[in-house]
Amino acid sequence: MRRHAARSICAFIATLLAANLALVVALERAPPRWHDPEYGKRLGLLRERQRDQPGRPFVVALGSSRVAIGLHPASLPADSTCGPVLFNMALVGSGPVMELICFRRLLADGVRPDAVLIEYWPAFLHEVGIYHEAARFDLHRLRACDERAVREYFPDADRRLRDWHVARALPLRTHRQNAWNQLVPGGLPRAARIDGLWSRIDPWGRLADRDSVGDAERLTLKDVHADYYRGLFAGYEASEVADRALRQLLRECADAGIPAALLMMPDSPAFAEWMPPEAVRRAADHERQLRADLPLPVIDARDWIAAAHLPDRVHLLTPGAAEFTRRLHGELPRVFPQFAGPSGGAP
Amino acid sequence: MPLFATSTPLTADQLAAALKAQEQLRWAGEAAYFRTLHDWLPEPFFHTESFFLFFAAVAAVYWAMPQRWVAGRVWLLVVASFHFYAAWNASLAFLVTATASLDYVLARGIEAAPRRRVKQALTAASVLSNLGLLAYFKYRGFFLGELHDLLTTLGGDPAFRKLSPLDILVPFGISFYTFEAISYAVDVYKGKTRAERSLPHFLLFILFFPHLVAGPIVRAGDFLRQTHRVKRWNWVRVQVGVQFFLLGLFKKLAIADRMAVYSDPILSNPEAASSGAIWLAVLAYSLRIYADFSGYSDMAIGLAHLLGYRLVPNFNLPYLAANVGEFWRRWHISLSTWLRDYVFIPLGGSRGSGLATDRNLMVTMLLGGLWHGATWSYVVWGGLHGVLLVGHRHFRAFAAARPGFNALLETKVGTALRVGLTFFAVSLAWVFFRPDFQSALVILERMFQFDLPGNPLPLNARGLWYTAVVVLVCHVLAASGLWARLWSRLPAGAVGYGYALVLIAALLLAPEQGQTFIYFTF
């Protein structure tokens, strides 16, 4: 009886340790999708598109949800078989730090874009308190290749990395919500569901969103982000962290021989109502300084699209995204002259 | 989370913000030692990683001590229990320790007193000090609020304000340890139990952390004997402890917390919910209450076993009860037997006339309801159970006089119908097992209008039905003894593998936002 009990307990502990170890090993070797489904799904799609379009140059866009929703490569004419191929690699919530993480991940995962478009948006340069990108980036999405960025740009990096290492060592507990969201999202309450971040990604990486809004919804959407951005701009500054990350990203693009351009997404004039004059001045100062320091191409699309296409003042409706993407695609040969010509610069 | 008893309404956001601010203020005033303790063990819940580390450390030192050091081990558990409570609230930990010490002294006096009157006076002092503690912390807001309303209604000036939730901090587990102390004093007075000679042993009886905050309510005669025994490492006992703990953890994480996802949004805002959603939310709430409290009790029993102690079983498949009397013999057994021994029987029990028995049942259940919470809804809940018990008593007499009908009730179909009816009645009564009386009325009103439109369940109901079926099947397997037979024949490896599966399933099924234990509020 006692021997049976002792063996049962030993078997319990051994099984638990073995299961945990197996999961640790499996997750370490698992495709990126298991850690970060939003990134992982786009990576898989990007590889597929590269296979579909061999020899054509790929321009990959990095940025926030504004890019994720607003850049719509699938809307480009199907017969556009020449010129560079646009792919939407934006991650919701991205500022310069997450853009840098995403770029480094692409290289680590063996994907080398032919050029990158990097969203430049003053709002997400304010990396302070709850507005820091670290607050928008779930610890469990981290991969080993992100460790350097965390050390360089995240506040309280040692604690975050310690928590992350503990989480890595106990995946049974820490990855369960991720697993639920990927496997049985319907079993989660609405507040716990994050699968919308990747389940609505189309084959070109765009996060599908509203095609249109009614008058009533337009009124509701108008101020849906007001509290967040008013709070953000109340003590606005273009943070040193964001500036450093952006410059580092551009430096690493140059080091890798990948041409880069800054992309300023379409803005709604109404968005500026949330910005006090001091914030407007500081944002303009940073942009001016950056342009002076780094003579790189900039696509300024801020006034390309009518405000009616930005009902929440931040994100484009699908028709607006299509219009923006068409115009952006036309701009690419100007920004990246190496892709001009009938073959799109293909060898 | 601190718990408050009040009748003054505050919005959830206001209350949360005020509580947070109050907590920060309170901890800022505590000694640095206790602040550090709080950082290490912020919640007195058994299903947290910090508690796991705390318990592992305590158990390691406990079993590393030579087994002859009985007093040393008792001291260790007293100190650990004190720290367990002090990590939540240091001042109240001192208060609980002080009142327990007073009970110890009074009990020694009761036993030593030569005259009956002195014994009675000391017993009354012990009982009243504990009831006073309970009344001050738990019922002060309720009774002052009611008095305030009454005086205002009569046109008088109350000359005092109603207490807000922030005025009243209810110590965790106060209803449990005060009942333990009261039963101890009464048992010593009656000569059923000898007064404990050793203070640390008595403190351990009250403070023992597995049962401190939510029971089971232990009896001195049962527990104190164990504190004096030499504890030897026993693999069988460890296995029993692990098994109870894992079962409790599964009930808590995989059932109770998941069911809360279905029930809470609906029952906290019933005006906006459809009738169908409310029915399903009440079912989820029934499952949640059972899994939550029996899960906690199982974990407490398991932890006690891992330290060599045996706590009384608190649940015995209550939803298989065929009548409400049986339900109370299976549900929260340590409370129902306490109420039977210290309220119902002293009132006269069932020895008097039928009417007196009915009265005693009603009084006992009303007090039982009030024990759970200082609001009218808990009193109504207790009263409903009183009515059900009285009704069942009369129905039983009616059926006993009709052998044919009685035989029909005892058939398998008859029993299944009685079980179903009992579950239905108990579930309806659970509607009042929440602090807000008005919401309970709205819930019942909307339930019985059957087809009112409104918000659906926050999640697909499939998960709720699966859970209900799993709970039912497990109940039936356990009641038939099949589960125990199967388990005892499995090879050790398979048993250990089964434990691991249970733990993994509990971790996977737990919602991200865990819930507090319902019974911590009592």
CB contact under 8 A, A7 and B496: yes
Which pLDDT does position B416 carry in this prediction? 92
Tell me: do A190 and A111 sit in the same domain: yes
* A153 and A291 assigned to the same domain: yes
B503 touches chain A (CB under 8 A): yes
Considering its fold, how many domains does chain A have in total?
2
Could you tell me if residue A342 is inside a domain?
A: no
Q: Average the pLDDT over B371-389 and give the result.
A: 89
Give the C-alpha separation, B318 to B295, whole Å.
13
> Does the beta-carbon distance from B508 to A176 stay under 8 Å?
yes
> What distance in Å separates the CA atoms of residue B100 and residue B81, rounded to the nearest whole number?
13
Q: Do the bridges between strand A58-62 and strand A85-88 make them parallel or antiparallel, or are there none, so unpaired?
A: parallel
Judged by CB atoms closer than 8 Å, whether chains meet at A188 and B459 is answered as: yes
Q: How many other C-beta atoms are found inside a 10 Å radius of the C-beta of residue A110?
A: 8
Distance in angstroms (rounded) separating the CA atoms of residues B71 and B198: 9
Give CA angle at A327 (A324, A328), nearest 5°.
Answer: 80
Per-residue pLDDT, averaged over A172-180, amounts to 78
Query: What mean pLDDT do residues A321-331 have?
Result: 93
Active-site residue flag, B332: no
Mark whether A16 and A113 lie in a shared domain. Answer: no
Please say whether the beta carbons of A23 and A172 come within 8 A.
yes
The alpha-carbon gap from A166 to the nearest alpha carbon of chain B, in Å, equals: 12
Residue ranges of B 471-490 with Cβ closer than 8 A to chain A: none
The neighbour count for residue B385, using CB atoms within 10 Å, is 25
Please tell me the distance from the alpha carbon of residue A243 to that of residue A189, in angstroms, as a whole number: 38
Residue among A120, A177, A15 at smallest CA distance from B514: A177
Three-state SS letters, chain A: CHHHHHHHHHHHHHHHHHHHHHHHHHHHHCCHHHCCHHHHHHHHHHHHHHHHCCCCCEEEEECCHHHHHHCCHHHCCCCCCCCCEEEECCCCCCCHHHHHHHHHHHHHCCCCCCEEEEECCHHHHCCCHHHCHHHHCCHHHCCHHHHHHHHHHCCCHHHHHHHHHHHHHCHHHHCHHHHHHHHCHHHCCHHHCCCHHHHCECCCCCECCCCCCCHHHHHHHHCCCHHHHHHHHHCCCCCHHHHHHHHHHHHHHHHCCCCEEEEECCCCHHHHHHCCHHHHHHHHHHHHHHHHHCCCCEEECCCCCCHHHCCCCCCCCHHHHHHHHHHHHHHHHHHCHHHCCCCCCCC
In a shared domain, residues A154 and A232: yes
> What is residue A341's predicted lDDT score, i.e. its pLDDT?
62
Has residue A248 been placed in a domain?
yes
- Is residue B270 a contact partner of residue B468, using CB atoms and an 8 Å limit? no
Both tokens of A122, joined, read 């003053």
By C-alpha distance, the chain A residue nearest B461 is A187
User: Taking CB atoms and an 8 Å cutoff, what residues of chain B touch A192?
Assistant: 511-513
d(CA B522, CA B173): 6
For an interface test with A, give the residue of B63, B253, B507 to mutate (most A CBs within 10 A). Answer: B507
- CATH number of the domain that A265 lies in? 3.40.50.1110
pLDDT digits (tens, 9 = 90+) for A224-247: 888 888 888 888 988 999 999 999
Q: What is the largest CA-CA distance in chain A?
A: 82
Closest CA to A132 of A168, A108, A157, A163: A157
Digit-coded pLDDT (tens) for B436-495: 888 889 998 998 988 888 888 888 888 899 999 999 999 989 988 888 888 888 898 899
CB-CB contact of B520 with B5 (8 Å): no
Scanning A150-209 for CB atoms below 8 A from B yields 172-173, 176-177, 179-180, 186-190, 192
Assess contact for A124 and A153: CB atoms under 8 A: no
Quote the pLDDT of residue B8.
46
Contacts of A187 in chain B (CB under 8 A): 459-460, 463
Question: Domain for residue A19, yes or no?
Answer: yes
CA distance A205 to A89: 6
Domain co-membership, A97 together with A189: yes
Q: Which residues of B touch A9 (CB under 8 A)?
A: 235, 238-239, 242, 496
Q: Is the domain of A23 the same as that of A131?
A: no
Distances (CA, A) of A26 to A36, A171, A172: 15, 10, 12
- CB burial of B188-227 (b: ≥16 within 10 Å; e: otherwise) equals bbeeebebbeeebbbbbbbbbbbbbbbbbbbbbeebbebb
Asked if residue A89 is part of any domain, the answer here is: yes
User: What was the ipTM of the complex prediction?
Assistant: 0.77
Q: pLDDT tens across A30-68, in order?
A: 888 888 899 999 999 999 999 988 888 999 999 999 999
Q: Does B316 touch chain A (CB under 8 A)?
A: no
Distance between terminal CA atoms of chain B? Answer: 13
- Give the pLDDT confidence score for residue A81 in this predicted structure: 62
pLDDT at A190 (0 to 100):
76
CA dihedral B67, B73, B74, B76 (to 10 degrees): 180
pLDDT given for residue A82 in this prediction: 66
Please report which confidence band the pLDDT of residue B294 belongs to, taking 50, 70 and 90 as the band edges: very high
Does a structural domain hold residue A346? no
Residues of A in contact with B499 (CB under 8 A): 8, 11-12, 15
The reported pLDDT for the residue numbered B30 is 75
The whole-number average pLDDT for the span A260-269 is 92
| List of chain A residues whose C-beta atoms are within 8 Å of the C-beta of residue B507 | 172-173, 176
Give chain A positions within 8 Å (CB) of B512. Answer: 177, 192
pLDDT at B103: 93
Query: Min CA distance, B434 vs chain A (Å)?
Result: 22
Q: Is A321 exposed, middle or buried (0-12, 13-18, 19+ CB in 10 A)?
A: buried
**Which of A8, A139, A159, A181 to mutate to probe the B interface, most B CBs <10 Å?**
A8
CA distance A333 to A340: 5
Q: Quick check: B226 and B310 in contact, CB under 8 A? A: yes
Beta sheet of A298-300, edge-to-edge order: A85-88, A58-62, A115-119, A260-264, A298-300
Does B362 contact A at CB distance below 8 Å? Answer: no
pLDDT value of position B166: 61
Q: CB contact, 8 Å: B500 with chain A?
A: yes
Mean pLDDT computed over every residue of chain B: 86
Q: How far is B239 from chain A (nearest CA, A)?
A: 6
Domain match, A213 and A320 both: yes
Tell me which chain B residues have a C-beta less than 8 angstroms from the C-beta of A10. 496
**pLDDT confidence of residue B349:** 85
Nearest CA among A40, A25, A37, A23 for reference residue A174 = A23
Give residue A180's pLDDT band: very low, low, confident or very high (50, 70, 90).
confident
Domain membership flag for residue A283:
yes
Give domain status of residue A343, yes or no. no
Q: Is B10 a residue whose pLDDT tops 60?
A: no
Burial B348-380 (b: 16+ CB within 10 A, else e): ebeeeeeeebbbbbbbbbbbbbbbbbbbbbbbb
Residue of B386, B337, B347 whose CA lies nearest to B366: B386
Residues A190 and A282 in one domain: yes
Place of tokens 């007001």: A226
Q: Return the axis-axis angle of helices B174-190 and B90-112, rounded to nearest 10°.
A: 10
Please check whether residue A120 lies inside any domain of the structure. yes
CB nearest A19 (choices: B242, B265, B500): B500
List chain A residues with CB under 8 Å of B494.
11
Q: Which of B238, B463, B494 sits opposite A187 (nearest CB)?
A: B463
Asked if A176 and B507 come within 8 Å (Cβ–Cβ), the reply is yes
Collect all residues with Cβ–Cβ distance below 8 Å to B136 and sequence separation of at least 6: none
Local structure of B3: helix, strand or coil? strand
The residue type found at A97 is V
Query: What is the share, in percent, of chain B residues with pLDDT greater than 90?
Result: 48
pLDDT reading at B299 higher than 90: yes
pLDDT at B386 over 70: yes
- In chain A, the residue whose alpha carbon lies closest to the alpha carbon of B495 is A8
Report the residue from A12, A177, A179 with minimal CB separation from B500.
Answer: A12
Does one domain contain both A160 and A19? no
Residue B62 pLDDT? 95
C-beta separation of B274 from B455 below 8 A: yes
Same domain, A53 and A102: yes
Whether residues A26 and A40 share a domain: the answer is: no
List the single residue in B239, B492, B507 with the smallest CB-CB distance to A173. B507
- Choose, from B83, B372, B385, B392, the residue flagged as catalytic: B372
Q: Domain limits at A213? A: 33-337
Cβ neighbors of A116 (< 8 A, separation 6 or more) are: A59, A60, A61, A62, A103, A253, A258, A259, A260, A261
Q: What is the nearest CA distance from B300 to chain A, expressed in angstroms?
A: 19
Question: How far apart (Å, rounded) are the C-alpha atoms in residues B58 and B26?
Answer: 27
Region label for B215, one of left (φ > 0), alpha (ψ between -120 and 50) or beta (otherwise)? left
Burial of A144 (0-12, 13-18, 19+ CB in 10 A): exposed
Compare B46 and A113 and report the one with higher pLDDT.
A113
Paired sense of beta strands A260-264 and A298-300, if any: parallel
The stretch A318-324 carries a mean pLDDT of 95
pTM metric for this prediction? 0.81
Q: In the predicted model, what is the mean pLDDT of residues A254-267?
A: 94
A20 and A70 co-located in one domain: no
